[in-house]
Amino acid sequence: MEFALSDEEGLIREAARKIASDRLAPLAEALDRGEGRSEFLANLKTLAENGFMALNVRGEFGGSEAGTVAFALTLEELAAACASTAVTTSVTNMVGEVIQAVGSAEHKTAYLPKLADGTYAAGAFCLTEAGAGSDPAGMRMRARRDGDSYVLDGQKIFITSGEYAGLFVVWAVTDPDAPKGKGISVFLVPADTPGVSVGKAEKKMGQTGSATNTIHFEGARIPASNLMGRENDGFRVAVGELAGGRIGVAAVSLGIARAAMEAAKSYAKERQQFGQALSDFQGLQWMIADRELDLHASRLLILDAAARKDRGEPFAREASMAKLFASEAAHRCTDTAIQIHGGAGYCRDFPVERYARDARITRIYEGTSEIQRLIIARETLRQTV
């Protein structure tokens, strides 16, 4: 297997690392306090202007055509500086990919350039509902055909970037009498559509710079042409796109974990106890060794899944493996980083407590760790002869 990055992928990683260092890292602490929203939006615009909001979108629509490996490398770099910015970038890229995959020619021409160039600060996925989280097929939101329009009624919860997204990809039930999961369709809904309103931001444990909102649809009328793909075929689309999104979450997890361990190693070399640096103690060295294994294994799993996707091969199982392992590894790495810092790690004077809070959600969104195990087992048994 070839593990070397292409020249283009290496340049993209370096460009992402520079923006992360120059623009994202200095703002991360303020975002965590609930400040710096205008600067955050400016950073999203900068990322768009440098091609990072449409990494796997074709050039004719304003995208970078860089591929999934470049997408994963980018998110690792961004997340190492600011997880909130990284997850916003990840979801916006997902929105672009689903439009490119199942949208009409008119959809692609009308919406992809606006995602790519930052006209839309972000894109958002509207899938989760109060009774449809790990079981999205159980959604209840309706889309009723009315002449040359669809009318949407219901609400979606925990929507990343809800309050500043310019465009929503929305799943809704179009045939309530169909078997579960068979009567769902997917639509494009501009954020300024009458009848669409954004609820207050959730008060979250971590990744507080990334807004998470409830989106309300009350008689929201959209053209029938805003249906993407075939009517009642939306659940299949959701399942496919979630697999790609899991590569993004895995890369975000890795970035957080890497930042935590970099901080821990630096602290261990500087902090003196019993007349020597913490890094001189074998017990602590073994902690670091275990976490380095986590980081390296996470990266290999992520790049394997990303490369499979770029080659057009099945990748759902590998994406779930990467997401499961990297998110669980992020928990271990951030916990170890706090332990190495001792009492200082529990204080906000050091960033490792923020990394731990930012990492916790990665084991939940885009499918919980438990759901990933179900997918891995199902796909493995399906492949067993």
- Cα gap 316→337, rounded to integer Å: 31
pLDDT of residue 103: 97
| Higher pLDDT among residues 384 and 116, named by residue | 116
pLDDT for the residue 4: 85
Q: What is the pLDDT of residue 383?
A: 83
366 is catalytic: yes
Longest Cα pair distance anywhere in the chain, in angstroms? Answer: 79
State pLDDT tens for residues 14-24: 999 999 999 99
Total residues belonging to the chain: 385
pLDDT per residue as tens digits for the range 175-188: 999 999 899 999 99
| Amino acid residing at 54 | A
- CA nearest 192: which of 172, 171, 164, 173? 164
CB 261 within 8 A of CB 332: no
Structure tokens at 42: 């400016």
Among the options 2, 313, 366, 370, which is catalytic?
Answer: 366
The DSSP symbol for 66 reads -
* pLDDT for residue 384: 74
What lies within 8 Å, CB to CB, of 157 at 6+ separation is 128, 129, 130, 214
Mean pLDDT score of the chain: 96
Residue type, 356: A
Does the structure show a pLDDT above 80 at 1? no
| Rg over CA atoms, the chain | 21
- In this predicted structure, the answer to whether residue 51 has a pLDDT above a threshold of 80 is yes
Q: Summarize the chain as % helix, strand, coil (round to 5).
A: 55, 15, 25
42 to each of 35, 51, 52, 81, 121, how far by Cα in Å?
A: 13, 14, 14, 16, 9
> For position 335, what pLDDT does the model report?
98
Provide the pLDDT for residue 385. Answer: 63
User: Would you state the structure tokens that stand for residue 173, as one six-digit string?
Assistant: 């039930």
Stretch 33-61: mean pLDDT = 97
DSSP conformational letter for 185: E
Q: Are 211 and 162 in contact (CB under 8 A)?
A: yes
Percent of the chain surpassing pLDDT 90 = 96
DSSP-based three-state secondary structure for 125: strand
Assess contact for 150 and 227: CB atoms under 8 A: yes
Q: Which amino acid is at 69?
A: V
pLDDT tens-digit profile of 191-207? Answer: 999 999 999 899 999 99
- Residue 144: its pLDDT value, please? 98
Residue type, position 277, single letter: A
Average pLDDT over residues 157-169: 97
Q: Give the range among 83-87, 111-115, 133-137, 220-224 with minimum mean pLDDT.
A: 133-137
For 253-309, write each residue's pLDDT tens digit: 999 999 999 999 999 999 999 999 999 999 999 999 999 999 999 999 999 999 999
Number of H helices, E strands in the chain: 11, 10
C-alpha angle 16-21-23 in degrees, rounded to nearest 5: 90
Give dist(CA 230, CA 228) in Å, integer. Answer: 7
pLDDT at 5 over 70: yes
pLDDT at 194: 98
Given its phi and psi angles, is residue 367 left (phi above 0), alpha (psi -120 to 50 degrees) or beta? left
Unique residue bearing structure tokens 């995959």: 101
Closest CA to 211 of 30, 98, 105, 85: 85
Per-residue pLDDT, 240: 86
Helices 25-32, 352-360: crossing angle, 10 deg rounding: 70
What pLDDT digit, counting tens, does each position of 120-146 carry? 999 999 999 999 999 999 999 999 999
Tens-digit pLDDT profile for residues 62-88: 999 999 999 999 999 999 999 999 999
User: Amino acid identity of 142?
Assistant: R
The secondary structure element, H or E, covering residue 69 is helix 68-81
Kindly list the structural domains of the chain, giving each domain's residue range(s) and its CATH number in brackets, ordered by start. Answer: 7-122 (1.10.540.10), 124-235 (2.40.110.10), 239-383 (1.20.140.10)
For residue 260, count other CB atoms closer than 10 A to its CB: 32
pTM over 0.75: yes
**CB contact set of 322 (below 8 Å; sequence gap of 6+):** 246, 247, 250, 298, 301, 302, 304, 305
